[in-house]
C-alpha cells in the first residue's frame, strides 16, 4: 500500500524544548556487549512492550525527542541509544568494526541486555539502514518495523550502480573514504559542514536552537567524528553481502519525505517491494529529516502501526496458548 500525506509543514506544532523532564527523566545505561556498549536513554516502565529508536548521521539520540513522550505515554518501554561511535557509546578503533552486521548485533545486544526477546524497531537514515538489516536477518525478533527515509540496502546499491545522478547525489560517501582529510576539513570549519548538511536540506524551522546545541556537543566528543565517518568507510570496504531477495517478513512501514535531496522516491518504492507486509507513506512537503519536519504526523503513524501489530501479536499469543493440544482432541 502506498499513500501520500499532504499535511503542510506549517500545520505542525512548534518544537518543544529538548528537556528530559518533558517526557520523564531518562535513565542512562550503557547496554550491549564487551567493548561495544551503547549509551542508551531508557524511558517508561521495564516490562512494557519495547520500542527501540535508532538515529542516523550526523545526529544523535535526540533525533527522536518529539517521539519519546507519546510512546511512553502510550504504555511502551522506549530505548534510545546513541549508535556505536556516537555520544558516549564505545568507539572501536578499526573501520571493520563499523560493518552493518556488527552494528546490527550491537542493537540486538542492547535489546537482550534490557531483558527483551522482541521489539518494535524504528530507524532513520543510518539507523534505518541498520533497521533494514535487522529486518532482513532477524524478522522473527521484530513485532514491527518502521523506517524513515532510509532505503533497503538492495534498493540503494541497485540505484547507486545504475544511476549517474544518484552517484552525484552520493558524492559525500566517496569524500568520506579519504583518510584524515574529511575530519580535518570538518574540524577546521568548526563543524559547519555537518550543520550545513542539515540546514540546507531540511525545512525552515524544523531544527530549534536546542537541537543545534545538542548536536554541537555530540560532534565535539573525542573520537566521535572519525567513528561516524567510519560507517561510510566500512560500507564500501566491507560491502554487505545479502543472499537471495532479502525480503523482510516483519510488518514494515516506510515513511518518506519526498524532498530528500540525497535519496530518491524510487528507492522508497523499490524498498516497499522487498517487504512481505509493508506500506509506504510519503510526504511531498517533507525532507530527509522527517522526524523534525513532521513530528506530530510521525508520532501518529508510529503509534498506529505499533499498536496495530501489538494487538496482532497479543491475539496470536492468546491463540497459541489456548489452542487445543493433540492429546485434548
Q: How confident is the model over 191-232, as pLDDT tens digits?
A: 999 999 999 999 999 999 999 999 999 999 999 999 999 999
pLDDT of residue 150: 97
* pLDDT at residue 317 greater than cutoff 60: no
139 closest CA partner among 252, 58, 226, 54:
252
Alpha-carbon radius of gyration of the chain: 19
Q: Which of 90, 97, 106, 125 is catalytic?
A: 125
pLDDT, residue 272, reads: 97
How many other C-beta atoms can be found within 10 angstroms of the C-beta atom of residue 267?
24
Round to whole Å and give the CA distance between 160 and 152. Answer: 12
- The predicted-structure confidence for 62-117, as pLDDT tens digits, reads as follows 999 999 999 999 999 999 999 999 999 999 999 999 999 999 999 999 999 999 99
Which of residues 15 and 301 earns the better pLDDT score?
A: 301
pLDDT at 312: 65
pLDDT digits (tens, 9 = 90+) for 260-282: 999 999 999 999 999 999 999 99
- Give residue 1's pLDDT: 63
Rounded CA gap, 71 and 64, in Å?
11
Judge whether 232 counts as a catalytic residue. Answer: yes
- CA 35/CA 89 separation, integer angstroms: 10
Q: Please determine, for residue 25, whether its predicted confidence score (pLDDT) is greater than 80.
A: no
Output the pLDDT for position 22: 46
Among the residue ranges 223-227, 232-236, 241-245, 300-304, the one predicted with the least confidence is: 241-245
Predicted confidence at residue 10, as pLDDT, reads 32
CB 66 within 8 A of CB 12: no
Q: Please state the rounded mean pLDDT for residues 233-243.
A: 87
* % the chain with pLDDT above 90: 78
Residue 190: the pLDDT is 97
pLDDT band at 248 (very low <50, low <70, confident <90, very high): very high
pLDDT the model gives residue 13 = 38
Q: 232, 260, 292, 309: which is the annotated catalytic residue?
A: 232
Q: What is the pLDDT of residue 16?
A: 42
pLDDT value for 140 = 96
Give the three-state DSSP class for 290: helix
Mean pLDDT of the chain: 89
Is the per-residue pLDDT at 329 higher than 70? no
125 is catalytic: yes
Residues 6+ apart with CB under 8 A from 125: 55, 56, 57, 59, 148, 149, 150, 288
Of 151, 101, 122, give the one whose Cα is nearest residue 54. 122
How far apart CA 58 and CA 207 sit, in angstroms, is 14
Judge whether 120 counts as a catalytic residue.
no
At 298 the pLDDT is: 98
| Catalytic residue selected from 23, 55, 124, 288 | 288
pLDDT of residue 245: 83
pLDDT for position 162 = 72
pTM (predicted TM-score): 0.90
The pLDDT value recorded for residue 314 is: 58
Q: Strands 278-283 and 77-81: what pairing?
A: unpaired
Q: Taking residues 24-46, what's their average pLDDT?
A: 93
Amino acid at each position: 500500500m502506498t499513500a501520500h500525506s499532504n499535511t503542510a509543514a506549517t500545520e505542525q506544532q512548534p518544537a518543544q524544548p529538548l528537556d528530559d523532564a518533558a517526557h520523564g527523566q531518562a535513565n542512562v545505561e550503557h547496554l550491549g556487549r564487551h567493548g561495544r556498549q551503547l549509551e542508551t536513554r531508557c524511558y517508561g516502565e521495564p516490562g512494557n512492550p519495547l520500542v527501540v529508536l535508532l538515529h542516523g548521521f550526523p545526529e544523535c539520540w535526540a533525533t527522536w525527542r518529539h517521539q519519546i513522550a507519546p510512546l511512553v505515554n502510550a504504555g511502551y518501554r522506549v530505548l534510545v541509544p546513541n549508535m556505536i561511535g556516537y555520544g558516549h557509546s564505545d568507539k572501536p578503533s578499526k573501520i571493520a568494526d563499523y560493518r552493518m552486521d556488527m552494528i546490527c548485533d550491537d542493537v540486538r545486544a542492547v535489546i537482550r541486555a534490557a531483558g527483551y526477546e522482541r521489539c518494535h524497531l524504528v530507524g532513520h537514515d543510518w539507523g534505518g539502514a541498520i533497521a533494514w538489516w535487522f529486518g532482513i536477518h532477524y524478522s522473527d525478533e521484530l513485532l514491527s518495523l518502521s523506517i524513515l527515509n532510509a532505503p533497503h540496502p538492495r534498493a540503494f546499491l541497485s540505484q547507486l550502480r545504475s544511476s549517474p545522478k544518484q552517484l552525484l547525489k552520493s558524492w559525500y560517501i566517496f569524500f568520506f573514504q579519504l583518510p584524515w582529510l574529511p575530519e580535518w576539513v570538518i574540524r577546521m570549519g568548526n563543524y559547519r559542514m555537518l550543520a550545513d548538511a542539515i540546514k540546507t536540506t531540511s525545512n525552515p524551522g524544523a531544527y530549534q536552537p536546542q537541537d543545534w546545541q545538542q548536536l554541537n556537543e555530540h560532534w565535539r566528543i573525542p573520537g566521535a567524528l572519525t567513528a561516524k565517518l567510519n560507517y561510510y568507510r566500512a560500507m564500501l570496504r566491507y560491502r554487505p553481502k545479502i543472499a537471495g531477495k532479502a525480503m523482510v517478513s516483519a510488518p514494515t512501514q516506510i515513511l518518506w519525505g519526498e524532498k530528500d535531496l540525497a535519496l530518491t522516491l524510487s528507492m522508497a518504492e523499490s524498498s516497499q517491494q522487498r517487504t512481505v507486509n509493508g506500506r509506504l507513506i510519503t510526504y511531498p512537503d517533507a525532507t530527509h529529516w522527517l522526524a523534525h519536519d513532521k513530528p506530530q504526523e510521525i508520532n501518529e503513524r508510529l503509534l498506529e502501526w505499533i499498536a496495530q501489530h501489538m494487538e496482532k501479536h497479543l491475539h496470536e499469543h492468546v491463540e497459541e496458548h489456548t489452542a487445543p493440544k493433540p492429546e485434548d482432541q
